[in-house]
Each structure stands twice: as structure tokens, then as C-alpha cells.
Structure 1
Amino acid sequence: MLLVGDDWAEDHHDIEAQDETGRVLKRARLAEGMAGIARFHDLLGRFVADDAEASEVLVCIEVDRGPWVRALVAAGYRVFGVDPKQAARHREILGSSGAKSDKGGAHALADMIRTRRHQLREVAGDSGIAEAVKVVTRAHQTLIWERTRHMLRLRVALREYFPAALAAYKSLDLTSDAVLRLLVKAPTPEAAAKLTISQITACLKGRRGIPDKAAAIQDVLRAEHLGQAPLVTTAYAATVKSLVAIITVLNSEIKTLQGEVEAHFGRHPDAEIILSQPGLGVILGARVLAEFGDAPGRYASAKARKNYAGTSPITRQSGKTKTVQARFVHNDRLIDALHNQASCAILHDPHVRAYYDQLKARDISHNAALRQVGNRLVGILHGCLKTGSIYDQATAWSHHDHDLAA
């Protein structure tokens, strides 16, 4: 068996190959790309018997995706993607000086796979459909996060020089087309005060109760408010126009990517099972699929899936002290999707609501209760995927209902 540590950078990989006794067989720096992966195969081939299988080569690397990892898996090597924090802790075991280098990183990874592979998770390849869903859902969510950041910058700018806008448009979303059109037409208090009812109405096209809203907006914009000097106001208006332009483009691209998410997710064979879960629609369902992946056998049990999700608690015990805490190291995208699922599920599924109410009756906070609801829903999802069955309330909550009756 050959143990390989692969310390990767953007344009190269430092590798170290060891035998099962820890003896270093080869160190090398390989370029990223086809030339590098070809040399990787050539170097390892010198230390593997002709009749040996590629599965006898174990590779440890601080990433679990990308073209390089895909090429290693395709070649038949067993690849273990480790968390950078795990790798850093193992480096501390090997030496306490704090020194760090690419060569040292490769050595630590090789030693890690040699001594602790029973504790590491092997990379299991997701299907092409699941990979595609991950790409578009992550891009879609990233653009939403970017829009939120720019919206907050827009709010800060308006508060500094044009507080009347925040007061007038408080019933509207700052990222909505209506508000963006109004800010383009009138980016300063002076221009906004001159807006007519017909101009405001045109910007509110598609909304309900337009006449009343238009009149209310005009009244606020024409009232007296604190402001800045004319020159400063002009400078702020220029920045607001730029932010409005960025948010407008983001709105368009988010809508486009939403269509891609729906199309890719709809092709996945597990889409029906995922959509049957309480609190999951197409977008949230796609995010859950993308972050969990669909590689068979990746999660040995419901507990393993919950641990990866970060919804299951961790216990810290030392002597007579014992505490149970939430997991703070987790996949942010997945935990966000599961939190939103739990929030929606308690509104639409009576069994989920009953479980949530039971938790609240024990003086558990809202967020902690949602986390426990999410943990339960992850277990239900695991069972449905394992058996290939859609969500059934009676089956999913039979044990819980028995507990309540008792």
C-alpha cells in the first residue's frame, strides 16, 4: 500500500509518498493540470507492483472536489479529503515549532493518511447531475448574498443623505424593481419632492393598491427632512446610482440562475423525494441536495448525516462538568437551508409544529428549537432517501406521537 500526501496550491501540488512503515519514498512538486496529473501517475507507478490495483494507493488532500480530485478518483485511487483544521491539528502533533511549508504540509498529510485513515472520510463521487445542481445553487445563493450586501450599503447611504427615501419606501423591499426605478428617477431629496403621482404610479407598476401607495410616498417625499449640503448630496446620489445599477443586474442574474436551478434539480431522480419533505420547495430542496450530495454510502446512518449537517449537538465532558452545545463548525450553506426548512415546516406541517411546540414548552429558545426540528427532519430525509420513499407523516412521526401519548 502506498500513502500519498498532496498539499495543493492554485498552480502546483507538493506530494510525498510513504510506505506503510512511514519511510519516505518520493517527494515532488507537480504542476496543476494534465501534465501534473500525468507525472503523478508516472511517479507512483514506480513504487506500485505491476499486479497491484490503483485502490492500494491512498491520497490525502485538503479538498474534496475539483478537476484534480476528480482525476484521482477516476484513476481508481482512494482519495481522502480532509478539513484544513484537521490537517493543521495533525501538523501540531508532528512538531510544535509552528513552522509551515508546502513540503511539510505534504509530509503531514501523508503521515495522517498512514496513521489515521480509519478516522477520515473517503471522497465518494457524486453523480454528474448532483454536481451540476451544486454549481448552479451555490452560484444562485452567492448572488443573493451579494445583493443583500449591496442593499445594506444602499440603506446606509440613504440614511446618511436621504432619510426621506427610507421612510417613503419602508413598505417596499429596497431591492425591488419599484424602489430601484424610483431611485434612478429621483436619487436626491430635491428631485424626489418633485415627483408627480403619475411618475410614482409608473414606477409602482405591478403592485397592489397603487393609488394609495403612490399618494403616501409623495406625502413623505414632500415633507421636511434633515439632509446634507448640496455638494455632498450630489456625491451620495452618484454612489446610490452605482449601487442601484449593481442591484438591478444582480436581480436579473438571480432570476436567470433560479431557472437553471429549477431545471437541473428537476432532472435528479431524488427530486420527488426531497420535494415531499416538509418545508422544502425547489430552491431549498436543490440546496439540500447540493450540499449533502448523492454519492451512495456517503452517510452510513442518519446520525452520520446529522453530524455532517451540523444539526446534532456535541457533548463536552470533563470530570463532573458536562455540557451539550450546538455545533459551530459546519457547512454554512447547508445549515442555512435546513434552518429555512425548519422555519417553513413549522408553519405548514402539523406534526412538525407539534414537535416545535413541545420543545418551546420546555423553555427552549426559538433558534435552538428550530435546530432540533431541523435535526429531526434530516433524519427523516435520510430514511426516505435510503428506502426510496416519499415523506409520510404517519411513518415519520409515529415514534414521536407515541412519546406524546405516553
Structure 2
Amino acid sequence: MAAIWAGIDAGKTHHHCVAIDGSGQRLLSRRVANDEPELLELLADVLTLGETVTWGIDLADGGAALAITILLNHDQPVHYISGRAIHRASESYRGEGKTDAKDAAVIADQVRIRRDLHPLRASDGTVTDLKILTGRRTDLVADRTRTVNRLRAQLTGVFPGLERALDLTNIGPLVLLTGYQTPAAIRRIGAKRLETWLRNRHVLRADQLAGTALQASERQHTSLPGEKLTAQLVHTLAKEVMALNQLVAELDKAIEARFRDHHAFDVITSLPGLGVILGAEFLAATGGDMTAFGTADRLAGFGGVAPVPRDSGKISGNLRRPQRYNRRLQRVFYISALFSIRHCEESRQFYDRKRAEGKHHTQAVLALARRRVNVLWALLRDGRCYELTPPSAFAA
């Protein structure tokens, strides 16, 4: 028996598997439930078709998690191919326009002919927990941003001057809005009593905040339609933002505690700009296993910080961002590069040099992020922490 390639078009409740031989002929095509007994039966049937089996799948987690874990637990090689790549490749295959069976066959054939697909590996418990925790944090931060935007919109509808004066990312203004939302209400309580009210709720610089609110109230004496109902909504939304802030803070503590259990914690966080949260997101996006990428160049490409040339009639020598990359990992590289410019002299000098060469701010930050990928790769490879250059060396 020869080698076999099996492709799985993963779904939420069911998967479709197609196995092919070296000539691309289908040996098996089956729809299976996303349940352990059926998946084990499928594995056994595919293994009877050939001496070795290489698997491909179009999801790396979620509904495919059970199938992937079963395959890895049975020492089966599994490769990930994105849905976008499958869609593009399927255009060159004959047959139905779009079916699960065809997609599974395309996955199997792509695994058979390609050598650049990302292999899936069993991640350790720490990385799995960080994926869950950082994913939850991303959802909470998005909810908080939406709620703050709604709060701003409602407050602008009845008290635009106060909305302009307050920074709703700080706790003090949110506390203020849980008690007072209209110009008349703020004028009635007055600056001194409002300051005392804020201090009793442990608001920092309560005198400044009370003065700002009173100044805004003195500039608006018109009561707008729907003011009473809108004030109630502002109160509710301010409470929601404060609750989300508390949830994010608690989650940050849980992420740090779990991240510290990972053997690469000190190495990753030693790189300037790559703190606890961004470092945890880096592990969650990459799995923490750099050998899966092979080279720093492939990691940079996966993270969206490796520019590619514009070909096919485009301006020669110009560069653009890659079109296929992990947006979450790109955010980690980009934001950490921004932070490093503020806190690391080496990064600042590299950024200034790129700006002096005529690069736009974003291009300079991406260039710095690409350079930092090489540094991080070397640190993880050698298992050593980053050492900052003494400021005296730059002064000299």
C-alpha cells in the first residue's frame, strides 16, 4: 500500500472527509458527525487505505478541535490550509461549484502537492489557556469600545459640552456620569458638593473634575428633547463601562498568572514593548513553537510585517503589505513596536533613521516590527533574555 492524503472540510456539527492516492483518485468520501466514535471510525477506515496518511483541514480550532486532537493523539500529521486558499485553489478544479465533498477533495490534493502548509501540533496546556483567556479579553475590550461609543453618542445628544470635556476612558468621568448627566443637575449640586460626592467615591483629582463639569454646565442652559430618558441611558451605559473595566482588569490578572507558568515568559517579556498582555497574545497566536514556522521570515510573513513586492505592472521597487496574514499577530508586532519607540533608545534610533529616509510613520513602525521579529526569534531560539544597551553607549 502507498501513501494516502486525506482532506477534512470541517463544520460545526459534521465534517466531510475525502482520501486520495498519489494520482489524485478518490479512495474514500464520507460525511461524519463531529463526535468521537464517528471520528475514530473514520480514522480507522482511512488508515486501512495506505501505509502512511497525511491529513489536511481548513480549521485550526473551534469546531475542528475534537478532530484535530484525535488525529494528533494518534500520531497523525495534520496540516492547516485556510479557507481563502481553498476557495482560490478550487477554481482550478473541475466539478460542482461549491460542495463539502469538493472542498475536502481540494484540501487533500493541496496537502499532496504543497510543501509550505502549516503543520498543526499539540499545544501545551498553558498556551491553550492563554488562547481562551486572550480571546475572551479581545471580546470584552470590543464590547467596552462599543459601549463607550454609545455612551458618547447619548451624552452628545443632551450635553455635548460635557462629552467634549470628559475622557470616558478614565474612571472618574464614568463615576460622574453615574450620578449627574445634565447641565441643570450639575448646576444644582454646585462645584463644592460635587467635589465631595466624587471624593466619597474615591475619584482622583475630584476638584478638577467637578470644576470641569460645572464650567460645561454653565455654557448650556437649554434643556433638549428626551433629556430625562437619555440621562437614564447615560447612567446605565456608564455603569456598564465600569463593569467591563472591572472584568478586563480581573482577566488581565488571570492572563499574567497563567503566562508566568510558561517557560518563555522571561524571554518574551524581556523584549522592550512586549509586555504581559501582548506577550500572551503572541503565544496564543503562534502556539509558542517557533519550529513550526521554520524561519524568522516565515514568522514575519505570518504576522503581516514582511512586505512583498508589487508585481504585474505595478511600480517597480514599491512594497506593500502581504494580503494573507494573522491580524491578531500583526497587532502584537505593531503595537509592541510602537511601545518600544517610547521606552527603548535602540528602537527609537531605528525608527528615526527610517523616517529620515523618507518613510511614512506606519512604514517606519512596520520596518521596526520586522526587525524585532528577528530579535525575538533569536531570543527564543537561544533561550536568553534581551539585554538593553546602556544609555551611556548612545551618548558616547
TM-score above 0.5, yes or no: yes
> Quick check: 2:172–2:209 contact (8 Å CA) kept in 1?
no
Per-residue deviation, residues 318-367 of structure 1 (Å, max 9, x unmatched): 36842311224322222112222111111111111111110010111111
- Distance change >3 Å, CA 21–CA 329, structure 1 → 2: closer
Q: Map of 1:375-390 to 2, 5 A cutoff?
A: 375-390=370-385
Structure 1 residue 33: deviation in Å? 2.2
Of residues 21-30 and 310-319 in structure 1, the stretch that sits farther from structure 2 once superposed is 310-319
Letter of the structure 2 residue corresponding to residue 93 of structure 1: S
Which residue does the alignment assign to 2:350?
Answer: 355
Q: Map of 1:19-58 to 2, 5 A cutoff?
A: 19-48=21-50, 52=51, 56-58=52-54
Which residue does the alignment assign to 1:236?
Answer: 230
CA distance in structure 2 between the aligned counterparts of 1:87 and 1:220, rounded to whole angstroms: 57
Identity among equivalent positions (%) equals: 26
Question: Alignment partner of 1:119: what SS?
Answer: coil
Alignment partner of 1:106 out of 104, 110, 121 = 104
> Quick check: 1:133–1:264 contact (8 Å CA) kept in 2?
yes
> Quick check: 1:195–1:218 contact (8 Å CA) kept in 2?
no
Matched, 1:142 2:139: yes
Per-residue deviation, residues 57-98 of structure 1 (Å, max 9, x unmatched): 111111123232122211111111111111101111114x88
CA distance in structure 2 between the aligned counterparts of 1:112 and 1:389, rounded to whole angstroms: 38
Gaps of 5+ in 1: 402-406
CA distance in structure 2 between the aligned counterparts of 1:133 and 1:28, rounded to whole angstroms: 35
Which residue does the alignment assign to 2:158?
Answer: 161
> Quick check: 1:92–1:98 contact (8 Å CA) kept in 2?
no
Question: Alignment partner of 2:28: what SS?
Answer: strand
Alignment partner of 1:121 out of 118, 124, 131 = 118
Question: Alignment partner of 1:392: what SS?
Answer: coil
CA distance in structure 1 between the aligned counterparts of 2:77 and 2:313, rounded to whole angstroms: 40
- Distance change >3 Å, CA 226–CA 87, structure 1 → 2: farther
CA distance in structure 2 between the aligned counterparts of 1:141 and 1:351, rounded to whole angstroms: 30
Letter of the structure 2 residue corresponding to residue 77 of structure 1: Q
TM-score by length of 2: 0.90
- Distance change >3 Å, CA 98–CA 246, structure 1 → 2: farther
Question: Alignment partner of 1:14: what SS?
Answer: strand
CA distance in structure 1 between the aligned counterparts of 2:269 and 2:149, rounded to whole angstroms: 32
> Quick check: 1:313–1:326 contact (8 Å CA) kept in 2?
yes
- Distance change >3 Å, CA 201–CA 285, structure 1 → 2: farther
TM-score by length of 1: 0.88
Structure 1 residue 160: deviation in Å? 1.8
Of residues 176-185 and 207-216 in structure 1, the stretch that sits farther from structure 2 once superposed is 207-216
Which residue does the alignment assign to 1:404?
Answer: none
Aligned length: 384
Gaps of 5+ in 2: none
Alignment partner of 1:288 out of 257, 274, 282 = 282
Structure 1 residue 183: deviation in Å? 1.7
Which residue does the alignment assign to 2:250?
Answer: 256
Per-residue deviation, residues 164-218 of structure 1 (Å, max 9, x unmatched): 331442xxx3143322222221234433332343334433554543323322322
- Distance change >3 Å, CA 124–CA 38, structure 1 → 2: closer
Matched, 1:77 2:65: no
Structure 1 residue 162: deviation in Å? 2.1
Alignment partner of 2:19 out of 14, 17, 20 = 17
- Distance change >3 Å, CA 393–CA 168, structure 1 → 2: closer
- Distance change >3 Å, CA 233–CA 210, structure 1 → 2: closer
Letter of the structure 2 residue corresponding to residue 213 of structure 1: L
- Distance change >3 Å, CA 278–CA 68, structure 1 → 2: same
Alignment partner of 1:246 out of 227, 240, 248 = 240
- Distance change >3 Å, CA 320–CA 155, structure 1 → 2: closer
Of residues 119-128 and 23-32 in structure 1, the stretch that sits farther from structure 2 once superposed is 119-128
Per-residue deviation, residues 123-152 of structure 1 (Å, max 9, x unmatched): 133222122122212211321122112111
Question: Alignment partner of 2:292: what SS?
Answer: coil
Which residue does the alignment assign to 1:218?
Answer: 214
Question: Alignment partner of 1:318: what SS?
Answer: coil
Letter of the structure 2 residue corresponding to residue 315 of structure 1: P
CA distance in structure 2 between the aligned counterparts of 1:306 and 1:201, rounded to whole angstroms: 53
Question: Alignment partner of 2:355: what SS?
Answer: helix
- Distance change >3 Å, CA 101–CA 238, structure 1 → 2: farther
Which residue does the alignment assign to 2:329?
Answer: 334
Question: Alignment partner of 1:297: what SS?
Answer: helix
